[in-house]
Chain A
Amino acid sequence: MRRLPALVVSGILVLACLLLIGLQAGSPLLYSPRSDPGGADHSNPAALERAREDRAAQVLPLISDLLDSPGSLVLNIKSGDFEYAARDLQEYRQISRSLDTLVINLDMTEGELNEFRNANQQNLAILTELFNGTGRWNELQTLEIRYRDSGDSQMLTTITYEGEALRRRIQDLYRDYLEQDQVMRDTGEKFGLDTTGYGQSVIDFREIVSQIDRDQHEKMTTLQTTGTPGTGPYRLTLGIDRQRVSYMDTVRIEGLLWEHKKDHPDEVDLFIDSRKIGSIPTKPDGSFSYSHLVEHDREGTHTVFAVYSGSVFSEIRTFFVETSGTSLDLKTPSLHNGRVAFEGVLLAGSTPVRFAPIEILAEGKRSGTARTGEDGKFSSDVKLSPGSHKVHAFFSADTSPLAPSESATYEVFVPEPSPGIAGEDGLLANPYYAVILAASLCASGFGAFLYLRRQRVGLSPPIPVFHLPGERAPDGADNENLPDLDDGGTVTGVVPYTGEAEAVDTVPSGDLSSLFSALRMAVARRLAFLYPLSLTPRELCAMCRELPFRAEVCRFTSGYEQVMYSGASVPDDERDMIGSAARSAMEGMGGPDH
């Protein structure tokens, strides 16, 4: 009965241990510096990763290079050295790309550095177009000489008109370049960098524009004075209803072909910015019209002219496209199946912006894209990493006269995907799971049964058998049950049983050791004590406290101790008296069976 509380306590402790292990089984890491990242005063350095070296050290040299690059490029364009200019442009593009990467890596997609980056991107686009435009301008110069020499007045007119469109475009580029000037110089000066090269690029750009302006003006004057289209009564006239337009406005272009033969269908080719946009059929009276929707026209001046039969040119007309502001409305993002759903609409005033590219940015980095529909609405499902994210949408399109815009920023939290069985189907959803579970339980139970059964057989205590010293143990079952010692022999001092009282009677009174062994075995058998050989005389006496022959046993053990351990010689009569105490005790036990 006394073992029950111990078993209960052990059971509780085992369960507690299993519970603690179970709690940690999902994430066995008990402590790491990351679990102690610090507080308001400081961060735990052990929980932080070392920053990559020299990231910041690259910023200022890059900005310096980007301030210097346009100077060399524009100078080479101005001097007509296009081979070097192409090389400069390539280098400029690479450095700009490095800055883009760095700004994203440094997570500085907002603020001053990003403003500089944006201005630089504009400059790169402007100078690339300047490079291409001036290259084409030089080609036109060569063609002009050739056509003039061959007397091909029509082609001469064509390239002169193209030159006019080019002139206006380069003027617009210069205006755009000046718009970036302040950001570029302010950033350079703030970082203590030399902005002389950039300043020189502005001066050289202006000289390029002035040179082209002068040359083109001269050509147009020559064209008009030679009597080809532009002077005198036009055989093909052209008009535009609105000079300044903006996004989704319509430019109405109307004209009249004077040399038209009545009821004879004719066509005129219409050019905007020297690009043919179509052949327009004339009406019976020779008039024609075309409505141009301003949607993918860049901001700035655009030239229009018409050509009939490849030889009759209209005068050049222009219209100016203004930039319209846009607003990008983003609804609160929602979470669906681990993905973040974005919805919104892009408007230019009250006009939906159709087929426009939208970027979804998380922490300033592009995480997804979308495209608006006919009604300006867009939607996108973006997969974001678990954790908190600041997200917003961004619109920018170089091919439309629309200003960039961005939505409000939202904070979204993407939860960690549930690990383990929580994310799976129910444990018993699949019948195989149930079978595996049942088989596992059966196997465990059977294994436990076998183990306990084997344990019980192995541990069953031997029945104590008593043999008198010097007497051979009888063959039979009794001997088979004798427990083995470590050295393989039988238990020393075991008294082969012949009836305890008789056995004790046969022991000489002086052989107290044998008497003690016999008495110890007898008492152990009486009390079903498993390990009699471990008993000392005092323990033997104490064990008998509930027995009626306790006094005899204790008298014997006391005398036995005195004889065995005191070292003094004990008279024979006293030995006999001790022996008689043992015999009395054995008699009190009444034999082996009862």
Chain B
Amino acid sequence: MEYSRYNPEWNGTSRLFQEMIERDAMMVSGFHELPGGGDALLLILAPGESYAPDEIGLLRTFLEEGNIVVLVSDKERENLLISGLGSSIRIRDGNLTSIDRFFDHPSSVLAFPAGQDPLGAGISRIVLNNPSSLEGGEPVFTSSLLSWIDADGDSRLGRDETLQRFSVIAADRVGEGVLYVIADPSIFINGMDAIGMDNENYALARQIMSARPRFIVEQGRSRTAYAPEAIRVVNLVKDSTITKMAVITLIFLVGSIFVIGRWKEA
């Protein structure tokens, strides 16, 4: 249930998806459903598995047409997808740690805008939660200089660990489009509400949602689409009018049998 849109707990993304639905986001289960034209932004949040080469090809075509793709992942596995899209950005699944932190925990790294990318406009900082780091591309958000990769996992700056800025959001132009990579999907979980009223992580999310006229969310491989069986059934009912009618009829039938039985007994 990590990252699941149906999970209202701290590690779900129900609040983010509620806002997406309010903004009429289009949910796609595969890249073949992507619309034509160059006015869309596709969000791929926390992919759960790798994409096949033909899917990557479809995505690259979509990107090169002038659309925007925002990939939010902290797994090096996604480097296959990124390189397949023709980008030089690479995810480094290190244990990024910083002195500049929001919570008193090494994983609560603060990142600050770098450069003039419109994605970071008006946002003074974002709060990460156990992020990876990025190499390549144009940095959009970076950690402060007092950051390091905690290779030995002791949460402390060691002798062989070097202080430097690490890119956590990077952009790369591919054809006519732009690929953004965000190295931490946890910035959008429900629990990040705890960072306060002026939640700049959500400001970033809203920036992403409104960057293009059409906002599309990938739901085929994303961990956000995961739902337990009970919720799947509910969704199935909710999504189809015929199923809704069938369920209502069934309920009436069962109710009628019960009432008639009681009546006869009396």
Instruction: Tell whether A and B belong to one assembly.
Output: yes
- Residues of A within 8 Å of B186, CB to CB, are 41-42
Q: What is the interface of chain B mostly: helix, strand, loop, or mixed?
A: loop
Cβ-defined partner of B105 (8 Å) among A33, A43, A108: A43
B interface footprint on A38-62 (CB within 8 Å = 1, 0 otherwise):
1111111110111110011101100
With A44-B191, A46-B10 known to touch, is A110 a contact of B107 (CB < 8 Å)?
no
The reply to whether A48 and B104 form a contact with Cβ atoms under 8 Å apart is yes
Tell me, yes or no, whether A435 is within 8 Å of chain B by CB. Answer: no
Scan residues 83-119 of chain B and give those whose CB is less than 8 A from a CB of chain A. Answer: 98-105, 107-108
- Residues of A within 8 Å of B155, CB to CB, are 107
With A50-B102, A55-B99, A106-B99 known to touch, is A42 a contact of B156 (CB < 8 Å)?
no
The reply to whether A45 and B192 form a contact with Cβ atoms under 8 Å apart is yes
- Residues of B within 8 Å of A51, CB to CB, are 101-105, 108
Which residue of chain A has its CB nearest to the CB of B10? A44
Apart from A44-B10, A56-B101, A60-B145, 15 more pairs, CB < 8 Å:
A38-B11, A39-B2, A41-B130, A41-B186, A42-B107, A42-B130, A42-B186, A42-B191, A43-B105, A45-B108, A46-B194, A110-B159, A111-B163, A112-B157, A190-B145
Tell me, yes or no, whether A364 is within 8 Å of chain B by CB. Answer: yes
The reply to whether A48 and B154 form a contact with Cβ atoms under 8 Å apart is no
In whole angstroms, what is the CA distance A69 to B85 when docked? 52
- Residues of B within 8 Å of A57, CB to CB, are 100
In whole angstroms, what is the CA distance A364 to B105 when docked? 17
Tell me, yes or no, whether A84 is within 8 Å of chain B by CB. Answer: no
* Residue in B3, B146, B192 with the greatest tally of chain A CB atoms within 10 Å: B146
Offer 5 A-B interface pairs, CB within 8 angstroms, sorted by A: A43-B105, A56-B146, A59-B99, A108-B99, A113-B146
Question: A572 to nearest B CB, angstroms?
Answer: 34
* Residue in A42, A46, A108 with the greatest tally of chain B CB atoms within 10 Å: A42
Tell me, yes or no, whether B204 is within 8 Å of chain A by CB. Answer: no
Interface range for A: 35 or more
- Residues of A within 8 Å of B162, CB to CB, are 111-112
In whole angstroms, what is the CA distance A537 to B38 when docked? 85
The reply to whether A110 and B158 form a contact with Cβ atoms under 8 Å apart is yes
The reply to whether B129 and A42 form a contact with Cβ atoms under 8 Å apart is yes
Question: A393 to nearest B CB, angstroms?
Answer: 17
Tell me, yes or no, whether A329 is within 8 Å of chain B by CB. Answer: no
Question: A382 to nearest B CB, angstroms?
Answer: 19
In whole angstroms, what is the CA distance A39 to B101 when docked? 19
Scan residues 361-416 of chain A and give those whose CB is less than 8 A from a CB of chain B. Answer: 363-364, 390
The reply to whether B104 and A45 form a contact with Cβ atoms under 8 Å apart is no
Tell me, yes or no, whether A449 is within 8 Å of chain B by CB. Answer: no
- Residues of A within 8 Å of B74, CB to CB, are 41
Question: A565 to nearest B CB, angstroms?
Answer: 17
With A38-B11, A48-B104, A49-B104 known to touch, is A59 a contact of B157 (CB < 8 Å)?
no
In whole angstroms, what is the CA distance A246 to B154 when docked? 38
A interface footprint on B155-199 (CB within 8 Å = 1, 0 otherwise):
111110111000000000000000000000110010111110000
In whole angstroms, what is the CA distance A191 to B147 when docked? 12
Residues of chain A whose beta carbon lies under 8 Å from any beta carbon of chain B = 33, 36, 38-46, 48-52, 55-57, 59-60, 106-114, 190-192, 363-364, 390
With A45-B192, A46-B10 known to touch, is A108 a contact of B157 (CB < 8 Å)?
yes
The 7 closest A-B CB pairs, nearest first, are A111-B157, A42-B186, A48-B103, A45-B194, A56-B99, A42-B129, A51-B104
- Residues of A within 8 Å of B148, CB to CB, are 111
In whole angstroms, what is the CA distance A50 to B194 when docked? 10
Question: B104 to nearest A CB, angstroms?
Answer: 4
In whole angstroms, what is the CA distance A235 to B74 when docked? 83
The reply to whether B103 and A45 form a contact with Cβ atoms under 8 Å apart is yes
The reply to whether B103 and A50 form a contact with Cβ atoms under 8 Å apart is yes
Which residue of chain A has its CB nearest to the CB of B108? A48
The reply to whether B163 and A52 form a contact with Cβ atoms under 8 Å apart is no
Number of interface residues of B (CB under 8 A): 38
The reply to whether A43 and B102 form a contact with Cβ atoms under 8 Å apart is no
Tell me, yes or no, whether B219 is within 8 Å of chain A by CB. Answer: no
In whole angstroms, what is the CA distance A113 to B163 when docked? 8
- Residues of B within 8 Å of A38, CB to CB, are 11, 130
- Residues of B within 8 Å of A191, CB to CB, are 145
In whole angstroms, what is the CA distance A60 to B100 when docked? 12
- Residues of B within 8 Å of A55, CB to CB, are 99
With A42-B129, A50-B102, A56-B99 known to touch, is A390 a contact of B154 (CB < 8 Å)?
yes
- Residues of B within 8 Å of A39, CB to CB, are 2, 11
Which residue of chain A has its CB nearest to the CB of B184? A42
- Residues of A within 8 Å of B146, CB to CB, are 56, 59, 113
The reply to whether A42 and B104 form a contact with Cβ atoms under 8 Å apart is no
Tell me, yes or no, whether B144 is within 8 Å of chain A by CB. Answer: yes
The reply to whether A110 and B156 form a contact with Cβ atoms under 8 Å apart is yes
In whole angstroms, what is the CA distance A41 to B146 when docked? 22
Question: B35 to nearest A CB, angstroms?
Answer: 31
- Residues of A within 8 Å of B11, CB to CB, are 38-39, 41-42, 44
- Residues of A within 8 Å of B158, CB to CB, are 110-111
In whole angstroms, what is the CA distance A60 to B191 when docked? 31
In whole angstroms, what is the CA distance A52 to B101 when docked? 9
* Residue in B156, B158, B159, B193 with the greatest tally of chain A CB atoms within 10 Å: B156
Cβ-defined partner of A110 (8 Å) among B104, B157, B191: B157
Scan residues 113-163 of chain B and give those whose CB is less than 8 A from a CB of chain A. Answer: 129-130, 144-146, 148, 154-159, 161-163
- Residues of A within 8 Å of B159, CB to CB, are 110-111
In whole angstroms, what is the CA distance A59 to B163 when docked? 13
In whole angstroms, what is the CA distance A45 to B129 when docked? 8
With A42-B189, A56-B144 known to touch, is A49 a contact of B103 (CB < 8 Å)?
yes
The reply to whether A111 and B99 form a contact with Cβ atoms under 8 Å apart is no
- Residues of B within 8 Å of A114, CB to CB, are 157
Question: B242 to nearest A CB, angstroms?
Answer: 38
Question: B54 to nearest A CB, angstroms?
Answer: 29
In whole angstroms, what is the CA distance A72 to B156 when docked? 34
Which residue of chain A has its CB nearest to the CB of B99? A56
- Residues of A within 8 Å of B101, CB to CB, are 51, 56
Which residue of chain A has its CB nearest to the CB of B130? A42
The reply to whether A364 and B156 form a contact with Cβ atoms under 8 Å apart is yes
In whole angstroms, what is the CA distance A363 to B158 when docked? 11
The reply to whether B2 and A41 form a contact with Cβ atoms under 8 Å apart is yes
The reply to whether A111 and B161 form a contact with Cβ atoms under 8 Å apart is yes
- Residues of B within 8 Å of A48, CB to CB, are 103-105, 108, 194
Which residue of chain A has its CB nearest to the CB of B156? A107
- Residues of B within 8 Å of A112, CB to CB, are 157, 162-163
- Residues of B within 8 Å of A110, CB to CB, are 156-159
- Residues of B within 8 Å of A40, CB to CB, are 130
In whole angstroms, what is the CA distance A59 to B145 when docked? 11
Which residue of chain A has its CB nearest to the CB of B2? A41
